[in-house]
């Protein structure tokens, strides 16, 4: 069992920098949790407080129900994999992996058994005699993970472990780490600013901004039910479109912006009643706007608009259109067979069942 709980945890550096503000969340046993957010949002600080490398200013950290605030890092039964791997350059791979166990005075045969087992899991058995400089980035990364595995810790902490790898290797290591998680049945806390890593690996994502937790949820919840405009804009690429609009009543409810008038599906009417004649932010993901010629959502006229094509970006499997309607600018990801050309006016269909509404003042999701 390895459950990690943070209760109203604060980190204030030098009495003034509020790096983490009132963080409360639970990481369940065997869960793969990703702390996600832009640079400087407090992810690494949170991870380092769990590891014991950073003192907790206020609040409580519990592991398996026991308060850990004042427990030494070495006694927390946690292993951390750093961004730069922190391998000892003069030691072989074997010795790098064995180092922590030697320090803890494990018997030699036990060390050998654990190192060989971890090397097998990670497919680095052939590399045990090499020095770190004789390894590729991906191999070094595996050694760093191996060093954590041999300790058989309660909790693994990963601090942006893939950020030094090239794009192709990142994709490969992503799926390897995911498989490893299943195999080890470990509790993992993983820090990244890469939303794709978070979406593909996490059981649960914790989104942070300016030291404050914005939302905790499954990848599906974070993507489909973002709590506010920050989360909505941070997850998904290209990002969700935000269009300043008003909700008006005219034989049903409509989204009305400078360049768009779109019918709101009946199912949302009750929820949006209180926003009639109020300004809101209309959110729609680029993949929910179609070139009318290839629309996957039914085009009923009431969910269709004309827009001028500003830029066409063909990516092969899909095409990104930058569109303008009145003063509104938005992006659509459309079928690559689109005939749309720059400066042309085209009809686009909005899948209004996928719409979001955010409060203009607070940015909080209404729908
Ligand atoms: P990155 O992705 O860039 O590592 P992060 O989300 O992990 O960012 P943190 O490293 O946790 O962010 O930093 C959070 C805030 O705390 C930042 O404003 C940072 O400047 C500040 N900070 C971090 N460490 C210290 C320190 N030792 N002393 C003072 N301020 C610090």
ipTM of the complex: 0.96
- Position 86 scores a pLDDT of 84
Name the band, by pLDDT with cuts 50, 70 and 90, for residue 173. confident
Q: Which residues line ligand 1 (CB under 6 A)?
A: 13-14, 17, 19, 37, 39-45, 193
The Cα 296–Cα 242 span in angstroms is 22
- Position 328 scores a pLDDT of 98
Centre of ligand 1 to C-alpha 192, Å, is 13
Pair 245, 256: CB distance under 8 Å: yes
Mutate to test the pocket of ligand 1, among 45, 56, 194, 213 (most ligand atoms within 8 A of CB): 45
Pair 283, 253: CB distance under 8 Å: no
Q: Please, what's the b/e burial string for 224-258 (b: 16 or more CB within 10 A of its CB; e: otherwise)?
A: eebbbbbbbebbbeeebbbbebbbeeeeebbbebe
Cα angle for residues 87, 90, 94 (degrees, 5° grid): 65
- Position 11 scores a pLDDT of 98
Name the band, by pLDDT with cuts 50, 70 and 90, for residue 123. confident
At what angle are helices 108-122 and 167-184 packed, to 10 degrees? 130
Atom of ligand 1 nearest to the CA of 42: 11
Name the band, by pLDDT with cuts 50, 70 and 90, for residue 121. confident
Centre of ligand 1 to C-alpha 20, Å, is 9
Mean pLDDT of 74-100: 91
H helices then E strands: how many in the chain?
9, 20
Instruction: Write down the pTM of the prediction.
Output: 0.92
Instruction: Return all residues near 116 (Cβ < 8 A) that are at least 6 apart.
Output: 125
pLDDT in tens, 197-254: 999 999 999 999 999 999 999 999 999 999 999 999 999 999 999 999 999 999 999 9
Mean pLDDT of 330-358: 96
Q: What is the 3-state secondary structure (H, E, C) of 249-273?
A: ECCCEEEECCCCEEECCHHHHHHHH
Q: Where are the alpha helices (DSSP H) in the chain?
A: 43-51, 93-103, 108-122, 137-149, 167-184, 195-201, 219-224, 229-234, 269-272
What domains sit in the chain, N to C, each tagged with a CATH number?
Answer: 4-234 (3.40.50.300), 241-359 (2.40.50.140)
- Position 183 scores a pLDDT of 87
Q: Please, what's the b/e burial string for 30-58 (b: 16 or more CB within 10 A of its CB; e: otherwise)?
A: bbbbbbbbeeebbbbbbbbbbbbebebee
- Measure the N-to-C terminal CA separation of the chain; round to a whole number of Å: 37
Atom of ligand 1 nearest to the CA of 41: 6
Cis status, amide bond into 341, omega within 30 of 0: no
pLDDT at residue 300 tops 90: no
Cα angle for residues 247, 253, 255 (degrees, 5° grid): 40
- Position 335 scores a pLDDT of 95
pLDDT at residue 174 tops 80: yes
Centre of ligand 1 to C-alpha 81, Å, is 18
- Position 169 scores a pLDDT of 83
**Sheet holding 4-13: strands in order across?**
17-27, 4-13, 58-63, 66-67
What are the tokens at 99? 């180092």
From 91-100, 116-125, 160-169, the region with the lowest mean pLDDT: 160-169
The Cα 365–Cα 292 span in angstroms is 28
Q: Residue 130: how many CB atoms within 10 A of its CB? A: 15
Centre of ligand 1 to C-alpha 68, Å, is 22
Helix (H, G, I), strand (E, B) or coil at 72: coil
Mean pLDDT, rounded, of the chain: 94
Name the band, by pLDDT with cuts 50, 70 and 90, for residue 85. confident
- Position 74 scores a pLDDT of 87
**Which position has the token pair 């109203």?**
8
Mean pLDDT of 109-123: 92
- Position 46 scores a pLDDT of 97
β-pair partners for 290: 349
């Amino acid at each position: 069992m390895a459950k990690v709980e943070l209760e109203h945890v604060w980190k204030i550096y030098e009495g003034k920098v509020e790096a983490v503000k009132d963080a409360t969340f639970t990481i369940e046993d065997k869960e793969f949790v990703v702390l996600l957010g832009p640079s400087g949002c407090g992810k690494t600080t949170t991870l380092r407080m769990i590891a014991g490398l950073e003192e907790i200013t206020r609040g409580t950290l519990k592991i398996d129900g026991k308060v850990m605030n004042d427990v030494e890092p070495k006694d927390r039964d946690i292993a951390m994999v750093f961004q730069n791997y922190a391998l000892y350059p003069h030691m072989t791979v074997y010795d790098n992996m064995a180092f922590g166990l030697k320090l803890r005075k494990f018997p030699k045969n036990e060390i050998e058994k654990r190192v060989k087992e971890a090397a097998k899991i990670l497919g680095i058995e052939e590399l045990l005699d090499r020095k770190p400089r004789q390894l590729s980035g991906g191999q070094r990364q595996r050694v760093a993970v191996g060093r954590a595995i041999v300790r058989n810790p309660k909790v693994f902490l990963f601090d942006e472990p893939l950020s030094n790898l090239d794009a192709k290797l990142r994709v490969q290591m992503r799926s390897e780490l995911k498989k490893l998680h299943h195999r080890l049945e470990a509790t993992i806390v993983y820090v990244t600013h890469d939303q794709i890593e978070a979406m593909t690996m996490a059981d649960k994502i914790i989104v942070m901004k300016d030291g404050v937790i914005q939302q905790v949820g499954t990848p599906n919840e974070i993507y489909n039910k973002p709590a506010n405009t920050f989360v909505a804009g941070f997850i998904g690429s290209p990002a969700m479109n935000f269009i300043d609009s008003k909700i008006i009543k005219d034989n049903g409810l409509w989204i009305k912006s400078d360049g768009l008038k779109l019918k709101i599906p009946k199912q949302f009417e009750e929820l949006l009643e209180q926003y009639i004649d109020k300004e809101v932010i209309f959110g729609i993901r680029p993949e929910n706007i179609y070139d009318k010629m290839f629309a996957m959502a039914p085009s009923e006229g009431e969910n269709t608009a004309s827009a001028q094509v500003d830029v066409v970006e063909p990516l092969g499997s899909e095409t990104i259109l930058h569109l303008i309607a009145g003063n509104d600018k938005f992006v659509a990801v459309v079928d690559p067979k689109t005939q749309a050309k720059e400066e042309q006016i085209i009809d686009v269909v909005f899948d209004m069942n996928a719409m979001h509404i955010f409060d203009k003042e607070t940015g909080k999701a209404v729908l």
